[in-house]
């Protein structure tokens, strides 16, 4: 398993860091077997596996339930888990308690929080001191979709770009072990990556981040409603699943399934006797 130190070393050695989301036992197991560097139990699970409209509906309980399945499936991979909507804004006590429950129940290695407001910087310090590594997430922060006015590229003008640079540096200073940069222009992501000693993990943030992350269901095209333009599709699992299930149904209807190799037998004479006894 990659440690926080090894992940930082990878940036120094210019070795790209790979991260993919996982939401359950099979996705975690397959991603681990594919030798991904880090797994993210993303709150995107609300949208891609629970069918919610946005990540805003996701609860701490949802994250714990799915996080537990992920760490059972991937016993030897570094697992980051999202703190969901409003679970780290109410008070320091409430935030620490939510992080404690998430980490102790799931055995994930680090939590991820969106934004870099003062209370998030403070929480990052408090959690780090308490032994919980913290990942940052800047740029398009989906939990703030209604403040941002949609899933849009962030940091395109002077003020917002400068603020993103300040936010990234503040998160590093607060002790964050890495930062996800989502939907920011490539030149800005490159500059931020150069300015930090902790790795940046990009999603729609160009080629010059220290690593990349994508949503599992996007890579595989597994029943996703839409696909952001920054996604590379590597499979058509949704279509393949549909075809397989259609074939199964048609085999049942036409009597081509089940066959002799799918059945269990008994002594025919015994069944004969049973039927005779039934008719007495
Ligand atoms: N399937 C899936 N993939 C994701 O990456 C993802 C989720 N769901 N749900 C949670 C958030 C939401 N995310 C999103 C959603 C939409 C765009 C999107 O449509 N972006 C436009 C950019 C528009 C612009 O130019 O400003 C794009 O064309 O990609 C981006 C990120 C990322 N996360
Ligand atoms: C897209 C990644 C970075 C994420 O936060 C998620 O999957 O929830
Ligand atoms: Mg997320």
pLDDT tens-digit readout, 82-130: 999 999 999 999 999 999 999 999 999 999 999 999 999 999 999 999 9
| Ligand with the closest atom to the CA of 201 | 2
Tell whether 118 and 253 lie within a shared domain: no
Instruction: Tell whether residue 112 is among the known ligand binding residues.
Output: yes
Tell whether 122 and 147 lie within a shared domain: yes
Which CATH number characterizes residue 226's domain? 3.20.20.60
- Ligand 2, atom 7: nearest CA belongs to which residue? 42
By three-state DSSP, how is residue 269 classified? helix
182 is catalytic: yes
- Residues 201 and 203: their CA atoms lie apart, in Å, by 7
Residues around ligand 3, an ion, CB closer than 5 A: 42-43, 82
Structure tokens at 203: 């999603």
Tell whether 109 and 225 lie within a shared domain: yes
Tell whether 225 and 150 lie within a shared domain: yes
118-130 vs 158-174: helix crossing angle, rounded to 10: 20
Tell whether 201 and 265 lie within a shared domain: no
Q: How many domains does the chain have?
A: 2
Name the pLDDT band for 212 (thresholds 50, 70, 90).
very high
Task: Tell me what ipTM this predicted complex has.
Answer: 0.96
Tell whether 80 and 115 lie within a shared domain: yes
> What average pLDDT does the structure give for the chain?
98
Between the CA of 226 and the centroid of ligand 1 the distance, in Å, is 8
- Please name the residue that has the structure tokens 């090894």: 6
Tell whether 126 and 152 lie within a shared domain: yes
Instruction: Tell whether residue 44 is among the known ligand binding residues.
Output: yes
Phi, psi (degrees; rounded to nearest 5) at 110:
-150, 155
Q: Which domain holds residue 36?
A: 4-235
Which member of 35, 93, 182, 243 is catalytic?
182
Tell whether 251 and 267 lie within a shared domain: yes
Instruction: Tell whether residue 82 is among the known ligand binding residues.
Output: yes
Boundary (domain end) residue, out of 235, 251, 268: 235
Tell whether 127 and 257 lie within a shared domain: no
| Ligand with the closest atom to the CA of 213 | 2
218 lines ligand 1 (CB under 6 A): yes
Tell whether 169 and 245 lie within a shared domain: no
Tell whether 181 and 43 lie within a shared domain: yes
Mind listing the pLDDT tens digit for each residue in 124-169?
A: 999 999 999 999 999 999 999 999 999 999 999 999 999 999 999 9
Q: What is the mean pLDDT of residues 198-214?
A: 98
- Residues 103 and 100: their CA atoms lie apart, in Å, by 5
């Amino acid at each position: 398993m990659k440690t926080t130190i090894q992940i930082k070393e990878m940036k120094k050695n210019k070795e790209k860091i790979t991260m993919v989301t996982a939401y359950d036992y099979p996705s975690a197991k397959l991603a681990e077997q594919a030798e991904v560097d880090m797994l993210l139990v993303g709150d995107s699970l609300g949208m891609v596996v629970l069918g919610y409209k946005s990540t805003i509906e996701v609860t701490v309980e949802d994250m714990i339930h799915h996080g537990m399945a992920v760490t059972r499936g991937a016993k030897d991979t570094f697992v980051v888990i999202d703190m969901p909507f409003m679970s780290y804004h109410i008070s320091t006590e409430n935030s620490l308690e939510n992080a404690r429950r998430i980490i102790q129940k799931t055995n994930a290695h680090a939590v991820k929080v969106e934004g870099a407001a003062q209370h998030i910087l403070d929480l990052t310090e408090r959690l780090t001191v308490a032994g919980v590594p913290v990942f940052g997430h800047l740029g398009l922060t989906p939990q703030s979709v209604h403040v941002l006015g949609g899933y849009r590229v962030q940091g395109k003008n002077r003020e917002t770009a400068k603020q993103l640079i300040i936010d990234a540096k503040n998160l590093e200073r607060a002790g964050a072990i890495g930062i996800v940069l989502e939907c920011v222009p490539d030149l800005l992501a490159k500059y931020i990556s150069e300015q930090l000693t902790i790795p940046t993990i990009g999603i729609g943030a160009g080629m010059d981040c220290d690593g990349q992350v994508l949503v599992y269901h996007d890579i595989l095209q597994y029943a996703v409603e839409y696909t952001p333009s920054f996604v590379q599709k590597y499979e058509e699992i949704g279509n393949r699943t549909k075809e397989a299930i259609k074939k199964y149904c048609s085999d049942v209807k036409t009597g081509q399934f089940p066959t002799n190799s799918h059945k269990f037998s008994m002594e025919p004479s015994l069944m004969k006797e049973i039927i005779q006894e039934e008719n007495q």
